Copies of this chain bind each other. A is one copy, B any other.
Amino acid sequence: MSPRRVTLADVAKAAGVSRPTASLVLSGRGRELRISQDVEQRVLRAAEELQYRPNIVSVGLRTGTSRTIGFVSDTVATSRLAGDMIKGALEAARERGFMLFIGETEGDAELERLLLQAMHDRQVDGLILASMFTRTIKVPKGITAAPAVLLNALPKQPTPLPAVIPDEVEAGRRAARVLLDAGHRDGIYLIGAGPRLRDVPAQSVAAVERLVGIREALREAGVKVAGARTCPDWQPEYGLTATRDLLRTAQPRALICFNDRIAMGAYQALDDFGLKVPADVSIVSFDDHPIASWMRPKLTTVALPHYELGRKAVDVLFTEIDRFTEADRDRPDPDRAGEVHRVPMPVRGRESVSPSPA
């Protein structure tokens, strides 16, 4: 079919030396092993002319590596969000000459087991365990056979695995400050969660942390939350009903929506009541979902940094891989908890917040 691949043996023959000699030169160890300049040049020329590329499968067999990392997530496809995480991971990996295996578990533990097995069968050098929304996950046991990193997830049980998550608490503070900076001090309502810390959807790390940050920033400014409506699921329809419910009894000046889809519902509810964003009610939200910039007026929101999360996960994974390979020297206690890396969430200031008339 294709003209057979050029192998090391071909290069060696073309250069008139033995296979090991060619190998030594090409792996850069020629100098320390005193290969002559002449031979070195011949080998390099031959490799160049033949367009030699080492077969990674073969190298993998010998060295036990594959220059590949596995990206295992619960769901890739459901959201654009995932795509950006993968994209960040992809680029960071590529910069190091690594490829990405993709796998989805759909939350199925058995599938996850099989997937991890399949990846180990292929000798992946490391694993990224990703969740599509920030939450705590049950870390599959046996995962510590290879370096691994949690992405957008925290371990349910204590594990030595490092984790990379968005800095949701700070995001909460930032959302609150957007309103404070615009002069809002009264009539600030929450849509999606709160006002108490226990008024959050189950399992959602984001809800708790955003709420903590919001309350903290408001408290520091001496401002009180005027009220809140929870949503069983953070979808537009619940945002709509929650906001309608609120508008029947209150006159909010500003809403902090717990995500953009809720904000979308809130827009509709406000429209139903003849209220204008941001003239009558300012809105700030979270996620920076694509719709945020399609909504009219464009939604001011605190962005989930998916791309950066993906990149960061790969960075952290590579330091883990390094730790593994140097493991003979410094082997710290395996019971230590994994470090948690928080990636900042930037504010995307758009059109849905206006200065408080007060």
Contact = CB atoms under 8 A, between A and B. Distances in A.
B296 A268 contact: yes
A351 to B, nearest CB: 13
Interface residues of A, number: 56
A26 to B, nearest CB: 14
A102 B56 CA distance: 17
A151 interface: no
A41 interface: no
B87 A146 contact: no
Interface string A76-115: 1111101110110011001001011111100000000001
A358 interface: no
Given A90-B102, A90-B103, A296-B268, A121 B56 contact: yes
Contacts of A90: 76, 102-104
A81 to B, nearest CB: 9
Interface string A57-73: 11011000011100100
A294 B264 contact: yes
A1 interface: yes
A218 interface: no
Given A57-B61, A327-B1, A87 B100 contact: no
Contacts of A53: 117, 121
A19 interface: no
Contacts of A296: 240, 268
Contact of A83 (B54, B78, B264): B78
Contacts of A68: 101, 122
A192 interface: no
A305 interface: no
A9 B60 CA distance: 19
A33 interface: no
A23 interface: no
Interface string A150-187: 00000000000000000000000000000000000000
A58 B121 CA distance: 10
A246 to B, nearest CB: 18
A118 interface: yes
A2 interface: yes
A327 B101 CA distance: 29
Contact of A261 (B99, B145, B294): B294
A123 interface: yes
A77 to B, nearest CB: 4
A221 interface: no
A123 B2 CA distance: 12
Contacts of A261: 294
Contacts of A294: 235-236, 261, 264, 291
18 contacts: A1-B145, A2-B146, A55-B61, A56-B121, A56-B122, A57-B61, A57-B123, A66-B122, A67-B122, A68-B122, A76-B90, A77-B80, A77-B83, A77-B84, A77-B87, A78-B83, A79-B83, A264-B294
Which A-B residue pairs are the 5 nearest by beta carbons?
A: A77-B83, A77-B87, A2-B145, A236-B294, A56-B121
